[in-house]
Amino acid sequence: MITIKEVHTKKDLKAFVKFPFKLYKDSKYWVPPIISQEIKTFNKKENPVFNDAEARLFLAYKNNEIVGRVAAIINWLEVKEQNQKKMRFGWFDFIDDIEVSQTLLNEVEKIGKAHNLEYTEGPVGFSNLDKVGVMTEGFESIAPMVTWYNHPYYIKHYETANFKVEKSYSESKFPFKNVKPEFFFKAQELIKRRYQLKALKLNKTEEVMLYADKMFDLFNDSYASLSSFVAINDIQKDYFKKKFISFINPEYIKFVVDKGDNMVGFAIVMPAFAKALQKTKGKLFPFGFKHIMDAKKNSKDVIFYLIGIHPDYQNKGVHAVIFNEYYETFKEKGIETCFRTPELEDNEAIHRIWKHFDPIVYKRRKTFRKNIN
């Protein structure tokens, strides 16, 4: 018999966060989160997303042992402003027992029904900057820190519960040696002259912070046309600046501005922290922080986290300016492999940006949807 318990105490929240450590203890490819940071994600006083969203966390027990977990999420901006009557769910992990996964999904559906929502979709986070999708291909490669990893059996659980594929994502990689500067060097010089643009040379986090709000505004503008996009508000900007920007190498953040200093393009790249996170075992202290800082300084692999071009400048070659800047940085640092985070498979514009680098898709993932009856 499966027993469901809602998370209300600090002890239960810690158990919720730590359940995957047990589920994936024998996996070479799962990457643990930092436990303290994951707990803060669900702290209403720490995470401003709770100003416009709510989440209820559930643990599934069998024979007095935790066998599954799920976060049932409602983003009220999405529901009320976009009229997307969607019940989100994420952080969905479970043993290979259909009764466990189905019981947890039933809890999600009950909440959706109580709020007159029309369908559930997952796994997703609170917003577009959270992890997304259940992995369907690529199980034998390490998971980037910005994605969820899962056992192959997860897929049959969605199918058994009569969920249908909602969105499909791919993750790709390419060796840095595939980057040929002749593809973009002359083009970027022409683009900068034609549109009076310049790439900013920023080497300090304080310099990046001066442009961070403009970057998030541009993120909202450039991604607004994608399905289920929820814009980042001013409070969330401050949160993400504190959580992410101060943690990323400033030379890995590129901005392109026009003659009026208005931002027309940006990109964020991160060192690959996955192997370092595996060494931390979820803890920054006493030695975890050292592993993270070592990867930040010395990792030969990088992850393209975000890239955005203002709608007025899309298809005008601005990405060539950005790539030229990264080429110089990566060459200097001896970067070997470039990875891309999950991208919608129907986002043709983003795929065109990368075509000259001959990327190889090495993982695929999907979100699943089911109507609420």
- Residue range 265-324, pLDDT digits in tens: 999 999 999 999 999 999 988 888 899 999 999 999 999 998 999 999 988 999 999 999
Q: Whole-model pTM?
A: 0.93
Rounded Cα–Cα distance for residues 192 and 153 (Å): 50
Rounded Cα–Cα distance for residues 10 and 36 (Å): 12
Which of 261, 221, 269, 265 shows the shortest CA–CA distance to 245?
269
Contacts 24+ apart (CB under 8 A), 5-10: 5/58, 5/59, 5/60, 5/61, 6/56, 6/57, 6/58, 6/59, 7/56, 7/57, 7/58, 7/59
What's the CATH number of domain 3-170, 3.40.190.10, 3.50.50.60, 1.20.272.10, 3.40.630.30? 3.40.630.30
Same fold, 3-170 and 175-363: yes
- Lookup: tokens for 238: 């401050």
Topology of domain 175-363 in CATH is: Aminopeptidase (3.40.630)
pLDDT reading at 225 higher than 80: no
**Domain ranges for the chain:** 3-170, 175-363
Query: What's the N-to-C CA distance of the chain in angstroms?
Result: 25
Note the pLDDT tens digit of each residue in 69-109. Answer: 999 999 999 999 889 999 999 999 999 999 999 999 999 99
Note the pLDDT tens digit of each residue in 183-193. Answer: 888 889 999 99
Which pLDDT belongs to residue 285?
Answer: 86
